[in-house]
């Protein structure tokens, strides 16, 4: 199963429409549809966002190994998620860009 198919499986398991799933991720319906149809790639940012938003096991999403969902949500992630959802979309986008930059810095340091 490809990562795109696992994204669709998450959405279906959560019993969400593409529109509701996309809204929860602050993405367009069309982009989610493109992922599910394997027209759009699932990059690191999308993986992190899906895992963060829906408590998905990142290893499962990337490889199919392990369980689909995290066993116990991290309280820090819960707090970050709640705060993130309260922000206006423009600020959410800013935060996501900052996360991308931090991931790049982290990768260079490894």
> Residue 82 has what pLDDT?
86
Q: Which of 4, 22, 12, 6 is nearest to 65 (CA)?
A: 6
Domains of the chain, by residue range, sit at 3-109
Superfamily name and number for 3-109: lambda repressor-like DNA-binding domains (1.10.260.40)
User: What pLDDT is stored for residue 91 in this prediction?
Assistant: 92
Q: Dihedral of CA 107/93/5/11: which sign? A: positive
Taking 90 as the threshold, does the pLDDT of residue 64 lie above it? yes
C-alpha to C-alpha distance for 44 and 11, rounded to whole angstroms: 18
Residue 24 has pLDDT above 90, yes or no: yes
Rounded average pLDDT over 43-50:
93
Q: Kindly give, in sequence order, each residue whose CB lies less than 8 Å from that of residue 9, ignoring residues fewer than 6 positions away.
A: 1, 68
* Angle at which helices 44-54 and 89-109 cross, to 10°: 120
Mean per-residue pLDDT for 36-50?
A: 93
Would the pTM of this model clear 0.85, i.e. be above it?
no
DSSP 55: T
pLDDT value, residue 17: 94
């Amino acid at each position: 199963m490809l990562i795109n198919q696992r994204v669709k499986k998450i959405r279906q398991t959560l019993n969400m429409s593409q529109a509701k799933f996309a809204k929860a991720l602050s993405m367009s319906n069309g982009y989610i549809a493109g992922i599910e149809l394997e027209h759009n790639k699932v990059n690191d940012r999308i993986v992190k966002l899906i895992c963060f938003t829906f408590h998905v096991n990142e290893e499962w999403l990337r490889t199919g190994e392990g369980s689909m969902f995290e066993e116990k949500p991290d309280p820090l992630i819960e707090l970050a998620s709640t705060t993130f959802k309260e922000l206006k979309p423009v600020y959410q986008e800013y935060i996501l860009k900052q996360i991308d930059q931090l991931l790049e810095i982290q990768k260079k340091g490894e």
